[in-house]
Chain A
Amino acid sequence: MDMSSPLANVDVSKLSDRDKQELQQFVVNESQKARIQSSIHSLTDVCFKKCIPAGGVKNGALDKYEEPCVRQCVDRFLDANLVVLRELERLRG
């Protein structure tokens, strides 16, 4: 994030090969998690706009229409994503 990271004084050369391998796997997993979280943010952004009626918000909980709407919004968005991919695949021949 910034230059004054607390890792500045970590001596990477002290890592064993096994440590390095473990770290590499760790970073792969963490990036996967970060990607998923970022998708969750953008899906929430889209579905909040679609499912929560415009204007002020009076109640904090999702009501009985909003909750299923959000769930369906996620599922249909991913279906649509799949349609796009399939169509592009088809165009590529």
Chain B
Amino acid sequence: MDSFGGALGGGDPKTQIMRQVQQEAAMQNARMLVEKLNEHCFDRCVPKPGASLSKGEEGCFTACMEKYMSAWNTVSKTYVARIQKESQSGAGLSNTF
């Protein structure tokens, strides 16, 4: 996305590096999510692969993806709350995990 600005040398090097690092982190995160979605939802929605994806399987996939992402958000909130609680009380878990 920013290779345009990068190629033209736009922006100072520090900002360019920061932007690149953030982009790669976001990419890695998205890739991981796609991988997990496929893994879980394929397992649940296509127990016996047929000649093509049926309407039912597709519907299951949509619901499954939505549910997985809801679970991801719930986990994220709970985990972050826990890290914050523990870093305040000083119990050292946040640095091991």
Residues of A near any B CB (own CB < 8 A): 1, 5-7, 9-12, 14-15, 19, 22-23, 26-27, 30, 33-41, 43-45, 47-49, 51-52, 54-62, 66-67, 70-71, 74-75, 78, 81-82, 85
Contacts and interface: CB of A to CB of B under 8 A. Distances in A.
Given A6-B20, A34-B28, A48-B68, A85 B96 contact: yes
Given A5-B20, A22-B14, A36 B80 contact: yes
Given A10-B13, A41-B33, A57 B2 contact: no
Contact of B63 (A5, A60, A82): A60
Main secondary structure of the interface of B (DSSP, over half): helix
Contacts, number: 137
Nearest to A37: B29
For this complex, into which size category does the number of interface residues on chain B fall? 35 or more
